Amino acid sequence: MAHASGKYADFEGLREKAVALRRQGLSLRQIRDELKIYNNDILNQLIKGEPPPAWTKRPRAKDDLRENARELRLQGWTYDQIEVELGCSKSSISLWVRDLPKPERRDPTEQAKLAARRRWEHELAVRHEARQQTKEASKQAIGELSNRELFLAGVVLYWAEGAKDKAHSRQRRENLQFINSDPNVIRFYLRWLESLEVDRERLRFRLYIHESADVAEAEAYWADLVGVDTGTFQGTTLKKHNPKTVRKNVGDSYRGCLAIYVARSADLYRRVEGAWYGIVEGADRRPG
């Protein structure tokens, strides 16, 4: 084979260099610039038989986009909707889906409603994320509670949710009786009792639940939460279902309310009541 004169005369020497560069992973353009060979025919002859490096091969990243575009088009999406969803150009979309049937034209009112619904869904998602961020920031700001902080929080919780002694009652009811349906509230209350050195054997548990619920599942749930056997529960109190009322506390998450009684807790009750009124007076004495 005849070769050009001049700098291309030593063809075999150039080929040896070109092949070596190719095997090092250089592209055709890089080899051209390295060897100063600007004749494409000569350059192709020099590396003939040498496969291109993997990184120079045309990526197939658009294959997934193409399949997604076709799937959306079959669902009746417009070019504009597909463009926004996938972030690719209309020209590419047109090329990918041109063999597919055109979707039926929608009523402009329906399209407007669909667009409004999507904007609202996006707005709801943004609001939800903002709410979650606020909650998480507040949670992280609390940190570890001191014994005093735990005591005060428990006093406020008990006075809001626990049973209180009434002045008009014929008999004194100075003992701790607490009932709630929120598992986290129950967990906190038990931790608070622990901090007050209340022995576990002084605790009594009873479930209050509608008769139409899964009583056995609810008993097992609460027993697992508080760390006792269901056999230690006092008899479950069933509330009769009134068919005329529409209950909202239904579904798999409904497990009734758990009551926790503390035996021999008259003195502790008095401490809680006194602390509560101390909190009230302390708040009144704050400046401003």
- The residue type of 196 is L
- The answer to whether 279 and 202 are in contact (CB under 8 A) is no
- The answer to whether 93 and 82 are in contact (CB under 8 A) is yes
CA distance 88 to 69: 9
Only one residue has tokens 């597919």, namely: 100
Q: What is the mean pLDDT of residues 91-106?
A: 84
- Global pTM reads 0.58
CA distance 108 to 106: 6
Q: Is residue 71 scored above 70 in pLDDT?
A: yes
For the ranges 10-24, 109-123, 191-205, the one whose mean pLDDT is highest: 191-205
- Beta-ladder partners of 237: 208
Q: Is residue 49 scored above 80 in pLDDT?
A: yes
CA distance 24 to 130: 52
3 falls in which pLDDT band (50, 70, 90)?
very low
* Joined tokens for residue 252: 């798999």
- Specify the pLDDT at position 135: 93
- The answer to whether 272 and 159 are in contact (CB under 8 A) is yes
Q: Is residue 113 scored above 70 in pLDDT?
A: yes
Assign 204 to helix, strand or coil: strand
Helix (H) or strand (E) holding 191: helix 183-195
- Specify the pLDDT at position 61: 53
Calculate the CA dihedral of residues 7, 10, 11, 17 and round it to 10 degrees: -90
CA distance 64 to 152: 58
Q: Is residue 58 scored above 70 in pLDDT?
A: no
Backbone angles phi, psi at 270, to 5 degrees: -65, -35
